[in-house]
Structure 1
Amino acid sequence: MELMDVLGYVGALLIGLVLGLIGGGGSILTVPILVYALSLNPVVATAYSLFVVGTTALVGAVRNIFKGMVDFKTAIIFAIPALIAVYLTRAYLIPAIPVQLFSVGTFIVSKNLAIMLFFAIIMLVASISMIRNKRNEHHDDKEVSYNYPLIVLEGSVVGVLTGVVGAGGGFLIIPALVLLARLPMKKAVATSLLIIAIKSLIGFIGDVQNLDIDWLFLLSFTSVSVVGIFIGIWLNKFIDGKRLKTAFGWFVLIMGIYIIYKEVSM
């Protein structure tokens, strides 16, 4: 096994580790690891990311279900438009994007470049959200209420976003559940994992009909990530998740800037 392959699997462990420690954010690493460490095409990487993120989140979601932390009604309201949007994005929108979008002089904006730049922008937005780290707990004692139109709209937007970049979108889902469904923060985090799992795996189904999947690699990579989430859950007992989230936010910010520099300078 080559050094970059080893680094790729170390990255898979890190994805699960971060998900287990802070309840989100790990999926934002999946595409960069697959593209830069394992040299996968960005379209394939975003597809594989959906499977890795979906399966790892599902493990966390099942654990939360047994603890009674998941609000199923909210999950269904949010997940239905999200999974429809992510499936349509992966099955029809991504394949429809031309290989070369446009050129400015000698600079060519290709499909792969556009996907990576868009992903980097999402990383920057996510990093700012994590650095600010303002988790409002004041909804904990209030009754859950539903702003159906906004929840459906948010679900659709997150679904398209997930379909394009292959990330779970927890940094968008959790604030939406707290503000729009008025869920307590801990329930919002737990419920978001179930939503991420459903829409990511549905989105991956849209790719199965368009791509040749290397199942041996994908299952081995995902298994390492699942091991990581169990380690993260265990370490969560000893580490301050709030401080870790802020530190990870700075790391994601640097990664996002690096991706923009690397893609534009190539």
Structure 2
Amino acid sequence: MEIIYGIIIGLTLGLTGAGGSIITIPILLYLLKMNVHSATGTSLVVVGIGSLAGAIQYMLGKQKYVHWKISIVFSIAGIFGAFLGSYINSLVPSKIILYGFSILMLIIGVLMLKQKEYQNKKETQGPINLKNIKGAKAWLKFVLSGFSIGLMTGFFGVGGGFLIVPTLVLILDFPMKDAIATSLLVIALNCLWGILSRLSGVGSIEIVQAIYISLGAIVGMAIGVIIAKKVKAGFLTRIFSYFVIILAFYMFARTLDLIH
């Protein structure tokens, strides 16, 4: 079953460039019965490997959607955030993490619905590079976004694609498909920082289950990337957004013991 769950996670990542960890955490918690701290750590491995597989698939295509220099600079800003988030995760009670994650899911669902404002954006005419970040204010937004996403990666075990994609589109003037592809590499790097913090003694990871789920995620990612190149991103994202919002209310109610 772990491989099937992984396929679902990878498919989500490949189709939207975000959201893989949003369904990974509930799967680990409710279907595989992990505790919260292990689930957030294991999620980093699954989402990280799945995202890397997707980024490589985009890199191997005829059109180069992944801008690796920007990915590396963006993720470097998240290193300190990822280690800090992992440390805080080890100190906070499980229920607090679950309440916070439920609220985060709700925010993600709403933000992804609003992506329609820029998802049909036309291709940019000029080259995409770090020179597109003009002025101290734009650089500050870029660095703070990287740090904040790293913080969430460490604390919640999420990749942060739901914030990476709009940041790339709005600050660097990325076309949507370039933003989705590049976000996958950023997610993989952010997850790496979170994994390293867990391996240094902060938190825990269920390695065996993570490997099985990751194998499925690679397969699902490959399928998702192929589909994503052929369909409008807005339609898929809208459907997934409603699913995330419903799941957020379910997790919040379950944490309150209103449902079992």
Q: Does the C-alpha gap of structure 1 residues 183 and 166 become closer, same or farther in structure 2, counting only changes over 3 Å?
A: same
Which residue, out of 214, 224, 246, partners 1:222?
A: 214
Of residues 171-180 and 138-147 in structure 1, the stretch that sits farther from structure 2 once superposed is 138-147
Provide the rounded CA distance (Å) in 1 between the counterparts of 2:120 and 2:79: 27
Contact 2:89 2:156 in 1 (8 A): no
Deviations 1:42-76, CA, capped at 9 Å, x for gaps: 11100000110011000111122233222233212
User: Match for residue 108 of structure 1?
Assistant: none
Q: Does the C-alpha gap of structure 1 residues 133 and 180 become closer, same or farther in structure 2, counting only changes over 3 Å?
A: closer
Larger RCO, structures 1/2 (Cα 8 Å, 6+ apart) = 2
Provide the rounded CA distance (Å) in 1 between the counterparts of 2:164 and 2:205: 28
User: Match for residue 256 of structure 2?
Assistant: 264
Identity %: 35
**What amino acid sits opposite 1:250 in the alignment?**
Y
- Computing the radius of gyration over CA atoms, which structure comes out larger, 1 or 2? 1
**What amino acid sits opposite 1:137 in the alignment?**
K
User: Match for residue 20 of structure 1?
Assistant: 14
1:41-80 equivalences in 2 (<5 Å)? 41-67=35-61, 68-80=64-76
User: Match for residue 137 of structure 1?
Assistant: 121
Q: 1:212: Cα distance to partner?
A: 5.3
Q: 1:205: Cα distance to partner?
A: 1.3
Which residue, out of 168, 179, 188, partners 1:177?
A: 168
Q: Determine helix, strand or coil for the equivalent of 1:265.
A: coil
Contact 1:87 1:204 in 2 (8 A): no
Can you give the 5+ residue segments of structure 1 that lack an aligned partner in the other structure? 1-5, 98-110
User: Match for residue 93 of structure 1?
Assistant: 88
Provide the rounded CA distance (Å) in 1 between the counterparts of 2:97 and 2:47: 18
Q: 1:12: Cα distance to partner?
A: 2.0
Contact 2:82 2:150 in 1 (8 A): yes
Which residue, out of 107, 110, 113, partners 1:128?
A: 110
Provide the rounded CA distance (Å) in 2 between the counterparts of 1:131 and 1:191: 20
Q: Determine helix, strand or coil for the equivalent of 2:256.
A: helix
Q: Determine helix, strand or coil for the equivalent of 2:77.
A: helix
Provide the rounded CA distance (Å) in 2 between the counterparts of 1:186 and 1:89: 29
Contact 1:79 1:155 in 2 (8 A): yes
User: Match for residue 29 of structure 1?
Assistant: 23
Provide the rounded CA distance (Å) in 1 between the counterparts of 2:204 and 2:18: 29
Provide the rounded CA distance (Å) in 1 between the counterparts of 2:231 and 2:175: 22
1:83-122 equivalences in 2 (<5 Å)? 83-90=79-86, 92-97=87-92, 111-122=93-104
Of residues 59-68 and 172-181 in structure 1, the stretch that sits farther from structure 2 once superposed is 59-68
Provide the rounded CA distance (Å) in 2 between the counterparts of 1:235 and 1:32: 25
Q: Determine helix, strand or coil for the equivalent of 2:78.
A: helix
Of residues 55-64 and 175-184 in structure 1, the stretch that sits farther from structure 2 once superposed is 175-184
Contact 2:4 2:213 in 1 (8 A): no
Provide the rounded CA distance (Å) in 1 between the counterparts of 2:59 and 2:83: 25
Deviations 1:176-199, CA, capped at 9 Å, x for gaps: 111122222222111111110001
Provide the rounded CA distance (Å) in 2 between the counterparts of 1:64 and 1:253: 29
Q: Does the C-alpha gap of structure 1 residues 244 and 138 become closer, same or farther in structure 2, counting only changes over 3 Å?
A: closer
**What amino acid sits opposite 1:52 in the alignment?**
V
Provide the rounded CA distance (Å) in 1 between the counterparts of 2:236 and 2:191: 25
Does structure 1 residue 231 correspond to structure 2 residue 223?
Answer: yes
